[in-house]
Amino acid sequence: MLYLKKIIVIACSTGGPKALQEIIPFLDERINCPVIIVQHMTAGFTKTLAGRLNLISKIPVTESTDCELLENNHIYIAHAGKHLNIDKAGVNHRIEHSDEGLRLGVKPCANFTFESLAECDFDEIICVVLTGMGSDGAEGIIHLKKYKQIKVLIQDEESAVVYGMPGSILKAGIDCKVVKLCDMGKEIVALTEG
């Protein structure tokens, strides 16, 4: 059976930490891939968020470190105050932090992360856009879709604190599946197994 290299990238902002607490407990060894979370936060707070999520997670959750190699069944929280890109490193992939200015008023910006995946060797990419103000994620997913096979999940409006980010995916006409927050963790696992 052909082994497909997969990755999950989750983008969120306002209301994101609470939403992540409902999703993370569902992610376990069945996903068999790395998970990147780009949560808009002030510098200094993503390490605390990673620690809190790690307490309720079945797989490790850590704040991203520059040049670290991605491992399956590991969740990486983008380091606040830096943009997170994924780069090829031989047969592996690694995190590369960059220090460009704010994009869409945020840093980290999920658009950078999604766009960087266009140059990577992942066969399947699951893009998840949760609650948040603004439109971060839409531009990056549009770019990525030109180069890679992707699946896009967005949080439903009823369960989102702010529907800006998920709503921008719909407004952009991106093919996606709208999922209730209470079902999002199970849906992510089902996609990785499928």
- Active-site residues: which are they? 13, 40, 136
Residue 109 CA to residue 176 CA, distance in Å, equals 20
Chain centre to alpha carbon of residue 88: 18
Q: Which residues contact 49 (CB under 8 A, 6 or more apart)?
A: 17, 20, 39, 41, 63, 77
CB-based contact 7:33 (threshold 8 Å):
yes
Give the angle subtended at the CA of 102 by the CAs of 162 and 173, to the nearest 5°.
Answer: 50
Quick one: which H or E segment has residue 12? strand 6-12
Which is it for strands 92-98 and 124-129: parallel, antiparallel or unpaired? Answer: unpaired
Torsion of CA 54, 88, 142, 178, to 10 degrees: -30
